[in-house]
Amino acid sequence: MPYIAVAGGVNVDIGARPFERLRTKDSNPGHVHTSLGGVGRNIAHDLRLLGADVELLTALGADGYARSMRESCKWLGIGLTHALRVDDAPTSTYVYITDERGDMSVAVSDMAVCEKLSPDYFAEKLDVLNGAALVVADTNLPASSLEYLAEHLTVPLFVDPVSVSKAEKLLPILPKLHTLKPNGLEAELLSGVPVVDRNSARRAARKLIDLGVERVFLSLGKEGFLAAAEDETVWQPAPQAELVSTTGAGDALMAAIAWSWLRGENLSRTAALAAAAAAITIECEETINPALSAAAVLARAE
């Protein structure tokens, strides 16, 4: 059976929200929540909910967080056989504190373990990667590793830029990418075209296609997104949904794009299915909506 390989980061997210106004340099009564996340892990989780077989190539420390990650992936059916164990670094951890309304105040991210996902590691796993139907990567990987994947993969490479600062790693390898899912700011950095509306998004996507990317799914947030290929452009408006939280919507979008390609869907149909997956995700407070499924996405897309 064909599987999808996901190469990227995992995170343990620890969030804190005070009950009342946040006081700096003091202890604040509030609520602390721990969850498993990371762009690569989230995409893998969403892919499993959609029914795809997944191998996750990532790095884990030798700590309790790694055990939790392994147990969760085993329960979900995400393959972790090829994950790298790093004994001298903690599992990637993201700690954030919001104000009493839930808006971000400060955060610290410790993702040093991702630097261990070197070209040598991926060279050892090349048969696993090229045995997949496609590879989804995120830019938490080192630039050298992204370049290695771009040069050595014989299957399509889908990439989530993650952030503007990390998207810069993709500039040298744009001609090698099959599918790219940037937001407006990331697309602006990669294309050199300022993105402020649908028309400029269209120009930016076209520039990325001209630079060699086969397909671009450029998100404009609550407005929707533009899907573009060499000979086709589709504007996909955001579907009707009861907004609870936008966290995780981009991960679901990428998962559905990869899942749709596995199904052989065309660009227009892929855009509709991806929008449906994102809509289902934003209707849940959690990053991953357990109600996400192939049946739910197909029904919502109709």
Q: How far is CA 50 from the centre of its chain?
A: 15
Helix axis angle, 64-76 to 39-49, nearest 10°: 20
Q: pLDDT at position 129, please?
A: 98
Q: In terms of pLDDT, which residue wins out, 89 or 133?
A: 133
Lowest mean pLDDT among 77-81, 107-111, 140-144: 107-111
Record the pTM.
0.92
C-alpha angle with apex 58: 164 to 15, nearest 5 degrees? 60
Q: pLDDT at position 33, please?
A: 86
Nearest-CA neighbor of 97 among 10, 18, 11?
18
Contact (Cβ atoms closer than 8 angstroms) between residue 227 and residue 209 = no
pLDDT in tens, 40-88: 999 999 999 999 999 999 999 988 899 999 999 999 999 999 999 998 8
The end-to-end CA distance of the chain, in Å, is 28
Nearest-CA neighbor of 236 among 255, 209, 216?
216
Helix axis angle, 249-263 to 39-49, nearest 10°: 50
Contacts of 211 (CB under 8 A, 6+ apart): 174, 175, 191
95-107 core/surface letters (b: 16 or more CB in 10 A; e: else): bebbeeeeeeeee
Q: pLDDT at position 21, please?
A: 93
Helix axis angle, 294-301 to 267-282, nearest 10°: 110
Contact (Cβ atoms closer than 8 angstroms) between residue 234 and residue 215 = no
Contact (Cβ atoms closer than 8 angstroms) between residue 276 and residue 301 = yes
Q: How far is CA 181 from the centre of its chain?
A: 9
Instruction: Write down the CATH number for the domain with range 3-8+38-92+112-301.
Output: 3.40.1190.20
Task: For residues 121-127, give the mean pLDDT.
Answer: 98
Contact (Cβ atoms closer than 8 angstroms) between residue 217 and residue 179 = yes
pLDDT in tens, 212-264: 999 999 999 888 899 999 999 999 998 788 878 777 889 999 999 999 999 99
